[in-house]
Amino acid sequence: MTESTISLEDKKNIIIDFLKQCNDYSELMLKKYQRQLSDGELNDSASQKIHDWNTYKDFNDYAINELKGEELDEWFE
C-alpha cells in the first residue's frame, strides 16, 4: 500500500464538511416535524423526532468542535 497523500487538516476538513451536510439535512427534518406539531395525531411522534434530530445535530456539532482541535488527531494515524 502507498502512503496517504492527504494531510491531516484535509482529512479533518472532509469530515467536518460531511458533518455540516448532515446538520443541514437535520435542519430540514426539524422543520418538517415542527410543521407536524400542529396536527394533534402527530404531535407526540413529532416531538420525539424533534428531540432526536436535535440530539443528532448537537452530537455532530460536538464532533466538529473536537475535529477543529487536536482531540481526535490520533484517530487519523
Give a yes or no: residue 16 inside a domain: yes
Determine, yes or no, domain membership for 75: no
Contact 66, 2 (CB under 8 A): no
Q: How many domains does the chain have?
A: 1
The reply to whether 77 falls in a domain is no
CB 33 within 8 A of CB 53: yes
In a domain? residue 50? yes
Note whether residue 43 is domain-resident. yes
* pTM for the predicted model, two decimal places: 0.82
Name the residue range of residue 20's domain. 8-70
In tens digits, the chain (77 residues) has pLDDT values of 456 689 999 999 999 999 999 999 999 999 999 888 877 777 778 889 999 999 999 999 999 999 999 988 999 88
User: Residue 69: phi, psi to the nearest 5?
Assistant: -100, -155
